[in-house]
Chain A
Amino acid sequence: MSKGLQIIEFAQGIAGPMAGARLVELGASVIKIEGAEGDWLRGAAPAMPDNNGESGGDSASFFHLNRGKRSLALGPNPASARALFDALLHKADVLITDRSDEELRALGLEDLCEDAYLPNPRLVRVHISPLGRHGPIRNYQGSELTSQAMAGYTRYLGTHGQPARRLGADVASTGTGMFAVQAVLAAIFARGRTGKGQRVDLSLLNSLLSMKSIHIAAQCDPDVYAGPRVGGANFPPERGWKTRDEPIFFSFGGSVGAEGRPGWVEFVKEIGAEHLLQDKRFDHRGRNSTGHGTDVNALRQVYEKEFARFSADTLVDIIRKHTGNAARYMRADETVAHAQTVALGIVQDVPGRDGSSQRVRGFPVRFSRLKPQIQGVAPRLGEHTAEIARDAGFAEDVVSQLVEKGALRLVA
């Protein structure tokens, strides 16, 4: 049922476009409406190289997040495009927008600000904002970074009292993108039963707090104020265990009960650290001295002294052999090249524009029946303006008038 969905994406940046991109792969058709300046993510760094290897075009993030969509560009006087908006929304199944209610009203689209959209009651409308639909600061601007800070994520990196750090991953935006896909699919599912569309509100800040549920619950009224879920903000930076080359993370604890994993004994024997078996600090077979165990920071250096004789990859293999969990801290390019990533077909080469080939990530879920279609071409700003207007029933001379009035912009 997601196949054939007609989606209007009046959104820029990461969250809304990410939802649109994943829905394209599930078979939806997406019209991306952009302001006269284009989606601001087009101008982010780094830029994609063009066919000549020059890098002056759209950003890599824009390219990946907008593959398979058609672009309609508004002109400097977008309020004059009201009739076209109405026509597009009348035919659409879904609207994904990050424009505030204030901005929508300025375009004459006040109907969209209500719970029910009377001109097309079947329309599912997903509204994405930085800070939520209601509340005293609902109209303030926000970003990935401000969301991370407000939701308390930056506290779990760096050192308290030292300059703050961000999560390198755009977690607020991508999290919201994933929730927006859910919102669309769930609302379409409900529409199949009720015949009605509805408005769904999401925000970057909300997404991060939803995904912080474990930590929020931990901090309510804990019996003991101990462990990373309550004290983590005050812990030193987590850099794993040093080895001869690269650091690793490893654990013989986890969900294995009070006594740790039996494999820990064989593991310390294999690395020639039998003395740990007699060391009272290392009881419970590694449960407290590995992973997020209570004694990790006190005993880290004892392990590291032994690990100095081994490469990270060798240690990881030994730990896994003895039923522990382990991984080397890899860079993203190493992750892409790893045999496991390759085996899953996570990165694919697909046809791009003008016969080029593009390396892109596939759909993050594998289905036994559904076959997501991975796209390799992102639209230029306004590339499909005329075609979309024509499809919406606007004659060529009317489109020309809209362009003259500054309502629309044709491709440069």
Chain B
Amino acid sequence: MDKLRLIIAREYMSIVGRKSFIILTLLLPFLIVFIGAIPILMEYLNNSGNQTQQIAVIDETGKYASALQSDNLYNFVAIKGDTVTDAREFYDKANGSITAIIVIPRDVETSAQVNIYSEGTIPPALVMSVDNALTDTIQKARLAAAGIPNLQQIIDETHINLNVRNVTWQQDGNEQEASTDAAMALGMILAFIIYMFVIFYGQMIMNNVIEEKTNRIVEVVVSSCRPFHLMLGKIIGVGLAGLTQMAIWIVLLSVVGTVAGSALGLSGAAMTPDVAAAGVDPEMVDGAMSQVVRQALSINYTPIVINFVLYFIGGYLLYSAIFAALGSAVDQASDASQLLWPVMILVIIAIYAAMGCMTNPNGPMAFWCSIIPFTSPIVMMIRLPYDIPLWQMVLSHVLLFGTALAIVWVAARIYRRGILHYGKKVSFLDLFKWIK
């Protein structure tokens, strides 16, 4: 036991002490927040350097110029005149101090056409803001022209945003609002965490094993401890290093995310009119958000966290043991790929199955893939936020841990032979012989 603890400590320190590990662990959250903030920053840069442009408006109808609201990008100035020739003259006289002239023709209500004159190209943003501002106003004017009382109200009432609420009956007779969107998102995030962890740290274990072999340190170490302890110590040590990294990421991400969020929130407020201009009802955004938040809050997290941890351990144990065994069988990392593909296919099938199950988390594929131990740690994540019959849960756990322990045993037998095997390339047939 002491030896196992020593090996775990060495493996853990050998990863956590690495410069690349420290840099990646500390920088990644900043990188993620930065990448997430890029669109906001770009929008900000796009607008901040601009001088407000002067746009002249010739409104032949005399009704619509007021619909064009000036903002810090465009300042709309109504001018007198009623022909295109007037516009041309005015533009030339202004001598570059105005960017464009908008002419709203007398028959705009029937033709639904507005002209913008300019010598250069016109920024799409200007076209969009003119379009947004005038469409609504002209539509209203047309409706009014139809002469039907309360037509606008009637149309508004027919326009609905259907809200499907999923209510589940609790056993105690209470109703609870079920949480489809938030549950789906949560399940997918958990599935991806396990997927990434298994692939990333599994490969790290494999490379570690290969390195010990090419270093020729392994024979010295196994003359002091059992190969099984070396393998197990490596799996646990690397796993703990991965958990450390994840914990740091969670803490850093939430801190950096909050700080960056509040910093960008100031400039974000300036953008709100744009959102409104884009035709999105801000109240609807708020409504959708609060619904997701309400759903997220209604999820029962305790069983999810417990099951996540159990599947995480089981899945990691299962796959890392396979990676360790494969690493022991080759002399250099480049030889590993020919033994690796069946494992990679299994993991990729699992993540695809998980995505496929999102729409039907209680269907037959979801059921089978969450029972089979090689896919269950990933696929079950999708199903966790939904109610799963207890027997399925128990069966899945028992199969996963039973298989994981069996795989560790098999891997240890391969590992024991593999670490001392040099030279001839190993086939799957050889691996089966070694298990015996």
Q: Do chains A and B stick together as partners? A: no
